Structure 1
Amino acid sequence: MAVTQKAQRIPLIAGNWKLNLDHLQSIAFVQKLAWTLQDARLDFRKVEVAVFPPFTDLRSVQSLIAADHFPIVFGAQDISEHDSGAYTGEVSGAFLKALDCSYVLVGHSERRTYHHETNEQVGAKAAAAIRHGVVPIICVGETAEDLEARGASAVPVEQLTVALEQLADGAGADVVVAYEPVWAIGSGQAATPEQAESVAIQLRAVLADALGPEAADRTRILYGGSVKSGNIASFLREPNVDGALVGGASLVVDEFAKIARFQSHVGV
């Protein structure tokens, strides 16, 4: 399933702040980002820009974007698989929807590593997001050990397959997939565009099997792992790569703005 309707998929540039920036810093950051992109005349009809602050920042970001009508969307970094109840420290999809979150990350490698989240739990979290009208960004990716033992696509394909099996009504689900090779995150060593495209082709085939060919063709697949303004255009030239999940570079306004403006780069 290498041939896709890429032109119909609006690129998504998503900034994962991780455990950085408090609610006051988030206000200053989003203001500067919006002004920078508007000054650069970014056409927001051609690219979607999203930020993923810590939970404690979400209300501040929501209020700012709503009040100033900034053309930026936002999401959360995690979600509970439960809708309510005695689950200390959890945040439900209903709460995220009430804050106007458009997206939520599920299955990020740091959650899988530090909190031992399984593929089934990731799928349950994706299902919880969908129940409440929040689009899950399902994160998948292989470690260096996985890469050496099984190749690049085996683990991401397995992770996505199991996660999608948890969706009760997969055919109608709106999801995004983020391919982040764990060995590339924060290392300064990104995968090559060709490597990212090869895995994305396999992931789109999984989507076609689980959700149907039409849903697979409209689903955006992002690349993440040492993304920067100097390499973003090469990734977005690939037919099956529809955006980026940006980590460290998303914490620097000017650099993240340059990444969002990838379409201004020659040849894109």
Structure 2
Amino acid sequence: MPRSSFVGGNWKCNGTCNSVSSLTQSLSTTTSNIVGAEVVVAPSTLHLPFVFKNIRGPIQVCAQNISSTGSGAFTGEISAEMLHDFGIRWVILGHSERRKFYHESDELIGEKVRYALLKKLSVIACVGESLEERKNDETTNVVTRQLKAISDNVSDWSRVVIAYEPVWAIGTGEVATPEQAQTVHETLREWISKEVSSSVAEDVRIIYGGSVKPGNSKLLFEKADIDGFLVGGASLKAEDFAAIIKSTL
């Protein structure tokens, strides 16, 4: 059975009350007739309640991060329990910006994955190499190391999407060629087949992120092991995001 496509929009730390309201309304209109792709958007934590209550159509709402702990005396954190109680069912974990700027280790990301799944959230788990690591031919070692830390903590693969996001292509305007992306996606799927199971490898969706735009999404999606996208800047433009989604149908 073919894997259904998956497209996520990561709004990162962007948006005002007015811009988020406008984007939510526009997305509700431009994606209203889309059928066949699973779609989520991830606003900032501050904007989650507004988007959750006002988005229409096929779009689900996703958080950008959670703590590795539960509710309690953890100032500044947001817990998986809170998200689930509110009705949020997805979270992005392991994004390169969390790894780089907030020093999140493979171990911590694994703990977050475990906790999210335990609390009934589904996870978009990110892996990806830096430009220096790619130049040093370390891509396979890096992404499989990151994937192992995630895999060791997965209790239900049906609620996990893997996102390959080469760090050198995020927000830079650079994008992996379809062939470069397919090579890594194939490597990840082969690792899962060997280390987890062939059935999980066949079913799990592996999506690409890194300067995805309407102009390159179709060629990327044509590759056998690319099941969709995690979109950054282009997800802040309703027409561009809708076009990327439609390229996966």
Instruction: Determine if the TM-score, normalized by the shorter chain, exceeds 0.5.
Output: yes
Distance 2:171 2:101 in 1: 16
Which residue of the partner structure matches residue 209 of structure 2?
224
Q: Using the TM superposition, name which of 236-245 and 151-160 deviates more.
A: 151-160
Distance 1:263 1:198 in 2: 19
Deviations 1:152-204 (A, max 9, x none): 3221111111222234x36x562110000000111111001111111111111
Distance 1:204 1:175 in 2: 13
Asked if the contact 1:165–1:210 (Cα under 8 Å) also holds between the matched residues in 2, the reply is: no
Which residue of the partner structure matches residue 170 of structure 2?
185
Q: What is the alpha-carbon root mean square deviation over aligned residues? A: 1.7
Counterpart pick for 1:112 among 92, 99, 104: 99
Deviations 1:235-267 (A, max 9, x none): 111111100000111111111111111147xxx
Distance 2:84 2:95 in 1: 20
- How many correspondences in the alignment? 249
Q: Using the TM superposition, name which of 239-248 and 56-65 deviates more.
A: 56-65
Shift of 1:215: 1.9
Which residue of the partner structure matches residue 197 of structure 1?
182
Amino acid at match of 2:134: L
Which residue of the partner structure matches residue 132 of structure 1?
119
Verify: 1:37 aligned to 2:24, yes or no.
Answer: no
Q: Using the TM superposition, name which of 55-64 and 106-115 deviates more.
A: 55-64
Verify: 1:55 aligned to 2:59, yes or no.
Answer: no
Deviations 1:117-159 (A, max 9, x none): 0001111111111011111111000001100113432211111
Shift of 1:47: 1.0
Q: TM-score, normalised by structure 1?
A: 0.88
Which residue of the partner structure matches residue 19 of structure 2?
25
Which residue of the partner structure matches residue 244 of structure 1?
229
Counterpart pick for 2:9 among 7, 11, 15: 15
Amino acid at match of 2:129: E
Distance 1:263 1:140 in 2: 21
Asked if the contact 1:75–1:101 (Cα under 8 Å) also holds between the matched residues in 2, the reply is: yes
Which residue of the partner structure matches residue 100 of structure 1?
87
Asked if the contact 2:228–2:248 (Cα under 8 Å) also holds between the matched residues in 1, the reply is: no
Three-state SS of the structure 2 residue aligned to 1:226 is coil
Q: TM-score, normalised by structure 2?
A: 0.94
Distance 2:173 2:120 in 1: 35
Distance 1:24 1:132 in 2: 33
Asked if the contact 1:130–1:173 (Cα under 8 Å) also holds between the matched residues in 2, the reply is: no
Three-state SS of the structure 1 residue aligned to 2:214 is coil
The alpha-carbon distance between structure 1 residues 207 and 99, as it changes in their structure 2 partners (threshold 3 A), is: farther
Verify: 1:158 aligned to 2:152, yes or no.
Answer: no
Q: Percent identity?
A: 39
Distance 1:175 1:224 in 2: 16
Asked if the contact 2:7–2:40 (Cα under 8 Å) also holds between the matched residues in 1, the reply is: yes
Deviations 1:94-129 (A, max 9, x none): 111122223111010000001100001111111111
Amino acid at match of 1:183: W
Distance 1:263 1:124 in 2: 32
- Structure 2: which 5+ runs fail to align? none
